[in-house]
Amino acid sequence: MTTRIGTDALQRLRQDVLDGRLSRREALRRASLLGLSATALAGLASAAPGRAIAALPAGQNGEPVRGGRVRVGIPGSAATFDPNVAIILEAIWPCELLYSSLVRINPEMGVEADLATAWESNAAADEWTFTLREGVKWHDGGDFSSEDVVATVERILDPDLASAFRANILMIEEMETPSATEIVFRLSEPYAEFPELMGNYQARITPAGRSDRLETDPIGTGPYTLAEHVPGERTVLRRFDDYFDAENQGFLDEVEYLAIPEEATKAAALTSGGIELANEFLPTTLPTIQGAPRITTAEIITGGHQPIVMDVTQEPFGDARVRTALKLCAERDGFLAVVLQGHGETAADQCVPSIDPMYGDIPIPAQNIQRAQELLAEAGYADGLDLTLHTSTGRPGMQESAITFKDMAAAANIRIEIVSHPIDNFWADIWKQTPFFTTNWTGRPTAEQMMSLIYLCDSPGTESKWCNEEFDALLADVRGTVDEDERRQLMTQAQQILADDGPAIIPYFRSYITAYTSRLQGFTPHPLRWLDLRRAWLAE
């Protein structure tokens, strides 16, 4: 199986990154395929110049201490604990600790071992073999094996489950389990980033034959079990004593997620000691929390973005001229200044940020009110438009973005009424069910995953029902292309199509700003906004 990488090979990879011969992601991918440890991967990531990555905040050192409870302030609460269908962060966060995956995407965006200890591909990258851990226990006492991996993947591929992750793994043609600790994936096409794919949050492994219970009674192999769940109020996780890596993870006795929808209330809870960690803050809240004693703040660049989505099956959004006109109303620097207070970067109505190695350097469009009015007139709306834009305060920036766009669009005689909803109600009743709404996306381990999830014609993750066959064909070619430069060229074409014809106004990519008590150690903010507390502990 996979051989371990030596110091000389690590140095060569680092030098290749510094000299520009390899991208950071490609170097990390090669290192992980060779079984490089998570610590060494982090060192490799730091070699890449000009790349924004999550750094370990100052003061996080010392020997971990067991015990204690961390209370986390989040906007809402989980509606399901089934990781294969969970799509909102309130569910993703506890599932991060309840379940394990074959691999994990660490804060440096590298691949590290979880249930799998090693992985390798054939030369064509269309067959991948994963070696699994021995002695892993499910929370109900059962033994984990390769059959659970097969059952999980088959479950995700079942159209009746309607998992958004299904579209990402349709290339899996066959799975073989030579033993309880080995699984072989045979793919219909080469997929060079298959390990990253299996680090997706919806790829958490679930127990064979017991998946019907997961929505309310999660059974995982993660470091914590579900102790209590009061919808709209709190979710309590308790340490699982039989966790397979208990010496290095799962130090806390309990993790409690508290639903605190209001930004000011969450800030007050943090500074007063009512919570130890807040999931995220607006830039406008920074002055309040940065001056507070015993509080650490952290900010990292991410691929997180907040589109204003148009359902193309509803008028007037089926007309590409109307979509373009709305995009031309957006003044990108204004969004960055007003909504993000400068904490982010402008975007060109496509979802791949400049920090991603697959970014195509798509030109940022300028605001052009005159052209917007001309396009509206051509589409039959010479007197402008009356629109209702649905949003929520439950994700920092969503409502602010809606208000900012309303003001900008007014210059083109586009009259927008904004309706704001509580975050739990928004995801259940508004998202994907109204023709014009703001939404909130974190990044994904790869750019292709992000684009396929939201914009492929047949993806259950689609928000807009937009379908472009040329776009779909390009992404199919991306998945089957091993050479990174060729993949980037294909991805650039796909990004341009999305920018020109796509169904969403994407004016910016956001920084991720979080804050926590200085006692909280072993926690590193993640570019994908995952609240990974597996290695967290509380200092005395």
CA distance 388 to 311: 13
Q: Are 231 and 77 in contact (CB under 8 A)?
A: yes
Of 155, 183, 215, the last residue of a domain is 215
Co-location of 454 and 317 in the same domain: yes
Q: Any idea what the CATH number is for the domain that residue 115 is in?
A: 3.90.76.10
Give the CB-side neighbour count of residue 478, counting CA atoms within 13 A: 25
Co-location of 363 and 464 in the same domain: yes
Co-location of 356 and 463 in the same domain: yes
Co-location of 185 and 236 in the same domain: no
Co-location of 342 and 254 in the same domain: no
Q: How far is CA 486 from CA 432, 472, 481, 483, 536, in A?
A: 34, 17, 7, 5, 40
416, burial (CB in 10 Å: exposed 0-12, middle 13-18, buried 19+): buried
Pairing between β-strand 254-259 and β-strand 69-74 as defined by DSSP bridges: parallel
Q: Determine the residue type at 76.
A: G
Going through 180-240 in order, the beta strands assigned E by DSSP cover 182-187, 224-230, 234-239
The pair of structure tokens assigned to 381 is: 């709306």
Q: How far is CA 441 from CA 107, 336, 461, 512, 532, in A?
A: 17, 17, 11, 12, 18
Co-location of 90 and 108 in the same domain: no
Co-location of 139 and 187 in the same domain: yes
Co-location of 18 and 33 in the same domain: yes
Q: Any idea what the CATH number is for the domain that residue 414 is in?
A: 3.10.105.10
First and final C-alpha spacing in the chain:
43
Going by C-beta distance under 8 Å and a sequence separation of 6 or more, which residues neighbour residue 94?
Answer: 78, 81, 226, 235, 237, 255, 257
Co-location of 318 and 456 in the same domain: yes
Q: Any idea what the CATH number is for the domain that residue 237 is in?
A: 3.40.190.10
CA distance 318 to 325: 13
Phi, psi of 121 (to 5 degrees): -120, 165
Q: Determine the residue type at 343.
A: H
The pair of structure tokens assigned to 128 is: 């991948």
| Total domains in the fold of the chain | 4
Going by C-beta distance under 8 Å and a sequence separation of 6 or more, which residues neighbour residue 274?
Answer: 71, 73, 268
Pairing between β-strand 508-517 and β-strand 277-278 as defined by DSSP bridges: antiparallel
Q: Determine the residue type at 148.
A: D
Co-location of 412 and 526 in the same domain: no
Q: Are 269 and 260 in contact (CB under 8 A)?
A: yes
Co-location of 237 and 311 in the same domain: no
Sign of the torsion formed by the C-alpha atoms of 66, 71, 73 and 79? positive
Of 188, 215, 242, the last residue of a domain is 215
pTM given for the model: 0.74
485, burial (CB in 10 Å: exposed 0-12, middle 13-18, buried 19+): exposed
Q: Is 410 helix (H, G, I), strand (E, B) or coil?
A: helix
What is the residue-level pLDDT of the chain in tens, covering all 540 positions?
Answer: 222 223 344 444 455 554 444 554 455 444 443 334 333 444 444 333 322 233 334 345 678 999 999 999 999 999 999 999 998 999 999 999 999 999 999 988 889 999 999 999 998 899 999 999 999 999 999 999 999 999 999 999 999 999 989 988 999 999 999 999 999 999 998 998 899 999 999 999 999 999 889 999 999 999 999 999 999 999 999 999 999 999 999 999 999 999 999 999 999 999 999 999 999 998 889 999 988 999 999 998 889 999 999 999 999 999 999 999 999 999 999 999 999 999 999 999 999 998 888 999 999 999 999 999 999 999 999 999 999 999 999 888 999 999 999 999 999 999 999 999 998 899 999 999 999 999 999 888 889 989 998 999 988 889 999 999 999 999 988 987 888 899 999 999 999 999 999 999 999 999 999 999 999 999 999 988 899 999 999 998
Structural domain including 268 reads: 54-99+222-302+512-540
Q: Determine the residue type at 34.
A: L
Co-location of 482 and 383 in the same domain: yes
* Per-residue model confidence as pLDDT tens digits over 290-341: 889 999 999 988 899 999 999 999 999 999 999 999 999 999 999 999 999 9
